[in-house]
């Protein structure tokens, strides 16, 4: 099985988990189907 690295350096299967963790950590938030970065410095630390 071949996995390709996708967004945020994670495999596509784990992207949902990575987004959920960022939301839990207060880095991003979702309201009404739209996403918003709430802490740009934490997001930059992940990259």
Q: Distance between CA 7 and CA 5 in Å, rounded?
A: 7
Tokens of 21: 């963790």
Is 30 buried (19+), middle (13-18) or exposed (0-12) by CB count in 10 A? Answer: exposed
Range in 12-16, 29-33, 36-40, 42-46 the model is least confident about: 12-16
Q: What is the structure's pLDDT at 7?
A: 59
Task: Read off the pTM.
Answer: 0.65
Residue 6 — very low, low, confident or very high, per pLDDT cuts 50/70/90?
low
In total, the chain counts a number of residues equal to: 47
Q: Is the pLDDT of residue 1 over 50?
A: no
Model confidence band, residue 10 (pLDDT cutoffs 50, 70, 90): low
Domain segments of the chain as ranges: 7-46
Predicted confidence (pLDDT) at residue 5 exceeds the cutoff of 70:
no
Cα–Cα nearest to 46, from 12, 19, 16? 19
E strand segments, the chain: 28-31, 34-37
């Amino acid at each position: 099985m071949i996995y390709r690295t996708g967004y945020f350096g994670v495999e596509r299967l784990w992207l949902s988990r990575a987004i959920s963790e960022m939301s839990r950590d207060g880095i991003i938030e979702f309201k009404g189907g739209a996403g918003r970065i709430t802490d740009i410095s934490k997001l930059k630390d992940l990259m």
